[in-house]
Structure 1
């Protein structure tokens, strides 16, 4: 597994310190302080959505931590809290607005649409840009 630090790195507080990846897929995350912490394993569904969180011993985190989604990303079932902000299709969720960030645009899973137009406008004269 590769250890990659993201924007989550925090030294003094008990927050995510980094993610572990295998084959380009996020499989675990380290939480705690810089001097110590725990590793939690992130189990996803076929779309890469966060579904379950396991402790380093293989037990469910907080016993009842589980996330399930409707077809366009709205929460279908939520139990407990997960230590990560990654959500539907592995994208980060803004808890204040409920929107998901897809690296260029924000997506509203309740409506099932992006909240702004695509910034790249294709050229009809160049089929490869469509």
Structure 2
């Protein structure tokens, strides 16, 4: 509760990690592949459009771009990036809690200003994929969109300098039985 406003959420818990589908302020969210549709209490609809990492970069109403925004590699909005409409979804497509300036990753909270998670990853890992047992490391196997940005952010979390970060990632070797 912030001030005198309490927000309640309805969650879709059928997913491995629940998604917000309704808030007590009357906003409804429909999560579709590649886009999230939001409808407020006044029945105004907008589409939240992600980039390759899933970060909400544009908000569209019909065919008009209502808002654009950019994130740095750690999930911060640059100060010179005013947006006219700020949806609660942001970096990596996850819920941004503006009152506490934290990103809710459904399983734990992330502080982009310090590039740290506030708790350990609850996923214990898979013994058949030993690289998954190290909860705080992103390896060079991560080659998807934004992989370099995630490695830089992770290096910052681990306290590595850029030269030691490169050495750190280069020493990780693929496993013989690596599964996709």
- Would you say same fold, with TM above 0.5? yes
Aligned length: 112
- Return the match for 1:59 from 61, 64, 70: 64
Q: Give distance in 2, aligned partners of 1:19 and 1:109.
A: 26
Aligned equivalents of 2:20 and 2:111: distance in 1?
24
Identify unmatched segments of 5+ residues in structure 1: none
More strand by share: 1
* Offset, 1:50: 0.9
CA distance 1:20–1:30, change in 2 (3 Å):
farther
- In structure 2, how many angstroms separate the alpha carbons of the residues matched to 1:73 and 1:38? 28
Q: Does 1:17 align with 2:28?
A: yes
Could you tell me whether the CA contact under 8 Å between 2:102 and 2:110 is conserved in 1? yes
Q: Distance in 2 between matches of 1:90 and 1:49?
A: 4
State how far apart, in whole Å, the 2-side matches of 1:91 and 1:20 are: 12
Higher relative contact order (CA 8 A, sep 6+): 1
Contact 1:68–1:78 (CA<8 Å) still a contact in 2? no
Runs of 4+ in 1 over 3 A off after TM superposition: 4-7, 119-123, 126-129
Superposition pairs of residues 1-130 of structure 1, within 5 angstroms: 6-10=20-24, 15-21=26-32, 23=33, 25-33=34-42, 37-56=43-62, 58-61=63-66, 65-76=67-78, 77-82=81-86, 84-120=87-123, 126=127, 128=129, 130=133
- Decide whether aligned partners of structure 1 residues 79 and 9 sit closer, same or farther in structure 2, where only a CA change above 3 A counts: closer
TM-score normalised over the length of structure 2: 0.53
Q: Which residues of structure 2 form unaligned runs of 5+?
A: 1-11, 13-18, 134-180
Local SS of the residue matching 2:40: strand
Shift of 1:127: 5.4
TM-score, length of structure 1 as denominator length: 0.70
- Judging changes above 3 Å, is the alpha-carbon distance between structure 1 residues 127 and 18 closer, same or farther for their aligned structure 2 residues? closer
RMSD: 2.6
